[in-house]
Amino acid sequence: MSQEATLSFDDKTYKFPIFEGTEKERAIDFTKLRSETGLISYDEGFGNTGSCQSKITFIDGEKGILRYGGISIEELAEKSNFLESSYLVMYGKLPTQTELDLFSDRVAENASIDERMRSMFSNYPSKSHPMAILSSMMSSLACYSPELATNDRAADLEGFDEAAAYAISKVRTIAAAAYRASNGLPMIYPKPGVGYCDNFLHMMFSEPYNDFEPIPEVAKALNLMLLLHADHEQNCSTSTVRMVGSGGANLFASVSAGVGALWGPSHGGANMAVIQMLEEIHASGDDGSKFIEDAKSGKSGKRLMGFGHRVYKNFDPRAKIIGSVCEDLLNKMGVSDPCLDIARKLEQSALADDYFVQRKLYPNVDFYSGIVMRAIGIPLNMFTVMFAIGRMPGWLANWKEVASNPKGRISRPRQVYQGATQYAYTPIEERA
């Protein structure tokens, strides 16, 4: 197979190397495109652009494959848990028992937040969006542990093991505290000796002198959901984290930017938009048929939320896993949710509809994860926060990969300017 691509224009021919990834994906190396030809490549939304070479996660969107460090998501969902998979994502290998114990202990030890930080939560207006609080608080960690956020690459990398466990632990505590603050509830301290997800549920839902004690399947489903979100290669938020990190910014500043990027409805906000859509359909008395027609026409501005993916063009393997867990969990909890019936109907109709089939639009992970969270009792405005807790190891791993690359350059894309050409400044009184 050719190892060079040829580009011809203006009677000249240029050659660019082609290289291959470990899964035989091929890419043209355009690093010297501008210096050799004067052109830049234009690829709005980066649909065809490899922004980096990475060892963290492999996705084959056509075949519906997702692997963390070489291990399939199906196998991890069956045999692993969130913390072990987080280690795999961040260190590129499964931990030994000693490594896992050390990592888990570090996560457990960091569950509390500084009392001065804790008092900040009560200063947000009630009903503040927990994503806004989460983003600010993740960035603020740099104020409470400045030794882990020096903006000196070598020093920040040296502290990575500590900082990563710290961030994975704190994001969960901050998330629960954000929920309680935005609902005017007193904060609940973490419980020593309790697992990652159980502790989160405790900090969210316990009341002083009255511990929340759900059936074990609840923490298990939550653990799985976080595991399924742990990394997803160069999505909008992870690319943001890499971009911020490429300028040398510390880990907390970088992941805080990731939280902001995740917030939008086309990305992490989609899980919330799915439930809003299902509730809207239910309230209108529609069984989903009318909504599908509206989404197809495009005129209403509606989309079938939880459907479609930039990368998966066959099925989203995470959606398959969470879909079956969703059904089981609701049965075990004895919850009957009309939204689940509508979701099933929407899925069946869309999968049999030419519009969705031709555009390769299938349910994505958000289609069912919203229903799982609703069953657990997590309020709608916390859905994207849950996604952020899950995605934290992926963001950390990507920050580390950027920071560890001695040849890494600051991310700085170019543009094709389409604005006004030069004209003279006019004094204000002469302007129309």
Closest residue to ligand CMC using C-beta atoms: 308
Q: Which is nearer to ligand CMC, 308 or 390 (CB)?
A: 308
Torsional sign, CA 365, 366, 367, 369: positive
Q: By rule CB under 6 A, what count of residues binds ligand CMC?
A: 21
In angstroms, rounded to a whole number, what is the distance separating the alpha carbons of residues 306 and 410?
Answer: 34
Look up residue 11 and give its DSSP letter. Answer: T
User: What is the pattern of x (binds ligand CMC, CB under 6 A) and - over residues 207-236?
Assistant: -------------------------x--x-
Structure tokens at 22: 């470990």
Does residue number 304 form part of the binding site for ligand CMC (CB under 6 A)? yes
CB 343 within 8 A of CB 368: yes
Q: For residue 168, give the nearest of 90, 246, 98, 95 by alpha carbon.
A: 90
> How far apart (Å, rounded) are the C-alpha atoms in residues 179 and 183?
6
Q: Sketch the per residue contact string, 41 through 80, with ligand CMC: x for CB under 6 A, - otherwise.
A: ----------------------------------------
Other beta carbons within 10 Å of 320: 18
Q: Does the protein bind ligand CMC through residue 307 (CB under 6 A)?
A: yes
Asked if 211 is an active-site residue, the reply is no
Q: Which is nearer to ligand CMC, 198 or 316 (CB)?
A: 316
Per CB under 6 A, contacts with ligand CMC among 253-272 are 266-268, 270
Taking the complex as a whole, how short is the minimal distance between the CB of residue 26 and ligand CMC, in angstroms? 21
Known active-site residue 366:
yes
Instruction: From 35-43, 49-57, 82-90, 363-371, give the range in contact with ligand CMC by CB under 6 A.
Output: 363-371
Instruction: Count Cα neighbours of 242 within 13 Å in the Cβ-side half-sphere.
Output: 24
Closest to 252 (Cα-Cα) out of 175, 342, 150: 150
Catalytic residue among 231, 232, 309, 316: 309
Instruction: Reduce the DSSP state of residue 38 to 3 states and report it.
Output: coil
Structure tokens that stand for 140 in this block: 């603020």
For residue 259, the minimal CB distance to ligand CMC (Å) is 13
Residues making contact with ligand CMC (CB under 6 A): 232, 235, 266-268, 270, 295, 298, 303-310, 359, 361, 364-366
Active site residue ranges:
309, 366
